[in-house]
């Protein structure tokens, strides 16, 4: 089966600019996650979707970050305006169902550098 | 809240020697534990998981992990390290109710360097 697709792979922007990332999960995976991985740290969950509904966005900085999952398939994550501390790898993951049974499948990530 | 800790930033081992990457956990209820590996410029790849059953869990690429309830640990092991095992390793714990919406909480990661 095809994996989780993310684009772009790399992005460099200036602070205060906006940026968007795209994720296409594995077909049939109802649950989609966006994680932020800052250099030297473990991934931190930003937002979790079940189909097209948000089930956890408690760690999403909502003043600048937004995410949507249209029709319960593709998802976009947006940052506006970006700050220097947003430099990180943004990982998308999807899950077929119960984590106990299936775990996550991760995409390769988008590396964002804010200058 | 559920959490995991990886006490070592980096582990160095010679090729052919056994390796151990440490992880301790703090959970309420039964722990559901995972190990993932990340190669440069790649996403995280699943290695193995402990849900219930045998304390020794076998996973991908010859890795195994030992669940120890009394020590609240879930250390990753391999009997004979390969240079190609060099990567970043993450321990993770499931957070959320059984049957409900769950997510993984990750540790900070341990860099494994296997020297020829």
Asked if residue B99 has pLDDT above 70, the reply is no
How many CB atoms lie under 10 A from the CB of residue B6? 20
Residues in B closer than 8 angstroms to A50, CB to CB, are 101
Residues A33, A94: contact at Cβ < 8 Å?
yes
Q: Which of the 8 DSSP states describes residue B37?
A: E
Residues in A closer than 8 angstroms to B109, CB to CB, are 40-42
Asked if residue B50 has pLDDT above 70, the reply is yes
Select from A74, A79, A80 the least CA-distant residue to A92.
Answer: A74
Select from A5, A34, A41, A42 the residue whose CB has the most chain B CBs within 10 Å, as the one to mutate to test that interface.
A42
Distance CA A11, CA A114 (A): 8
Dihedral in degrees, nearest 10, Cα atoms B36, A61, A77, A94: 30
Asked if A44's CB is within 8 angstroms of B46's CB, the reply is: no
Q: Residue A79 has what pLDDT? A: 98
Residues B34, B104: contact at Cβ < 8 Å?
yes
A12, HSE (Cβ side, Cα atoms, 13 Å):
1
Asked if residue A64 has pLDDT above 80, the reply is yes
Q: Determine the average pLDDT of the residues in B51-68.
A: 94
Q: Residue B34 has what pLDDT? A: 94
Q: What angle do CA A57, B73, B38 make, to 5 degrees?
A: 55
Q: Which residues contact B53 (CB under 8 A, 6 or more apart)?
A: none
> Which pLDDT band, with edges at 50, 70 and 90, does A2 fall under?
confident
Q: Residue A59 has what pLDDT? A: 93
Asked if residue A55 has pLDDT above 80, the reply is yes
Q: Determine the average pLDDT of the residues in A39-58.
A: 92
Select from B78, B46, B23, B69 the least CA-distant residue to A100.
Answer: B46
Residues A20, A74: contact at Cβ < 8 Å?
no
Q: Are strands A88-95 and A31-37 parallel, antiparallel or unpaired?
A: antiparallel
Residues in B closer than 8 angstroms to A4, CB to CB, are 43
Q: Determine the average pLDDT of the residues in A60-77.
A: 94
Distance CA A84, CA A39 (A): 13
Asked if residue A40 has pLDDT above 90, the reply is no
Asked if B109's CB is within 8 angstroms of A42's CB, the reply is: yes
Give me the phi and psi of B28, to 5 degrees please. Answer: -105, 125
Select from B79, B86, B84, B78 the least CA-distant residue to B112.
Answer: B86
């Amino acid at each position: 089966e095809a994996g989780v697709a993310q684009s772009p792979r790399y992005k460099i922007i200036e602070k205060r600019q906006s940026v968007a990332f795209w994720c296409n999960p594995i077909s049939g995976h109802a649950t989609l996650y966006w994680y932020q991985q800052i250099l030297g740290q473990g991934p931190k969950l930003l937002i979790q979707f079940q189909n097209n509904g948000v089930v956890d966005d408690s760690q999403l900085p909502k003043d600048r970050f937004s995410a949507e999952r249209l029709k319960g398939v593709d998802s976009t994550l947006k940052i506006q305006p970006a700050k220097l501390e947003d430099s990180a790898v943004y990982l998308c993951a999807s899950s077929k169902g119960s984590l106990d049974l299936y775990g996550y499948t991760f995409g390769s990530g988008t590396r964002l550098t804010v200058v | 809240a559920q959490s995991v800790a990886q006490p070592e930033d980096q582990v160095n081992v010679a090729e052919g020697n056994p390796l151990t990457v440490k992880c301790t956990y703090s959970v309420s209820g039964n722990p559901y534990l995972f190990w993932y590996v990340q190669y440069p410029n790649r996403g995280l790849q699943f290695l193995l998981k402990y849900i219930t059953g045998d304390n020794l869990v076998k996973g991908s690429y010859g890795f195994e992990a030992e669940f120890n309830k009394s020590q609240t640990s879930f250390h990753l092991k391999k009997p004979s390290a390969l240079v190609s095992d060099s990567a970043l390793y993450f321990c993770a714990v499931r957070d959320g109710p059984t049957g409900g919406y769950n997510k993984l909480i990750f540790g900070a990661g341990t860099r494994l360097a296997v020297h020829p």
